[in-house]
Chains A and B, each alone.
Chain A
Amino acid sequence: QSVLTQPPSASGTPGQRVTISCSGSSSNIGRNTVNWYQQLPGTAPQLLMYSNIQRPSGVPDRFSGSKSGTSASLAISGLQSEDEADYYCATWDDSLNGVVFGGGTKLTVL
């Protein structure tokens, strides 16, 4: 059972916009910034979004992040086949004094 809750799966067709949610609590998302990772099959995770809304260099602006209260979301617009991957949210938890990850969302491009 992960501290952060994500839907196990999401899907969309090419060109569509999809969102992935990440729900937490006052000790984690409520107090700290949220980060998102993309993990392509057989590879290490890659930082996709940090500090809620910031994209690392090289990440397309089709990806965007948001946070409100104790929840956060990752949006992908103009969905492409190469976006098919697992997505994880992560943040610091002040009660656990450590990093917590969501359980991950498997995105399928139909």
Chain B
Amino acid sequence: QLQLQESGPGLVKPSEPLSLTCTVSGGSISSSSYYWGWIRQPPGKGLEWIGVIYYGGSAYYNPSLKSRVTISVDTSKKHFSLTLNSVTAADTAVYYCARPAPSGGTAAFDIWGQGTMVTVSS
């Protein structure tokens, strides 16, 4: 069955870029039915949608993060990536990669990675 796994540095310095990768296993990343997304959760707070990308490359981003975010997909490597520029302490969070259910719409994420904690600190 399809599984997602986030990877990347757990500590990022303020003003530097945050880069994470989500590896897809047990299934295809390039199905025409699939979007791939990122969601984050600051410590003790709620969920915040970051964005989604279609395997063909078109992406949608949270308007509040749009100027700093890029999501890309590499079908040959079976992973998709998140880059968040100019980070501050407010970007400290658990970052999840997730897949919207093909039959449920773009907001119905049925498969999640385990999440990776990223702390922004000097």
Contacts and interface: CB of A to CB of B under 8 A. Distances in A.
A65 to B, nearest CB: 12
Interface string A21-55: 00000000000110101000000111100110010
A101 B49 contact: yes
A90 B47 CA distance: 10
25 contacts: A2-B46, A32-B105, A32-B107, A33-B108, A35-B108, A44-B113, A45-B47, A50-B108, A50-B110, A51-B104, A54-B104, A88-B47, A90-B47, A90-B107, A90-B108, A92-B105, A97-B60, A98-B62, A99-B49, A99-B106, A100-B49, A100-B107, A101-B47, A101-B48, A101-B49
Nearest to A54: B104
* Interface of chain A: mostly helix, strand, loop or mixed: strand
Interface of A: 2, 32-33, 35, 37, 44-47, 50-51, 54, 56, 88, 90-92, 96-104
B90 to A, nearest CB: 15
B47 A104 contact: yes
Contacts of A96: 62-63
A33 B48 CA distance: 18
A56 B103 CA distance: 11
B50 to A, nearest CB: 9
A56 B52 contact: no
B102 to A, nearest CB: 11
Nearest to B4: A44
A35 B47 CA distance: 13
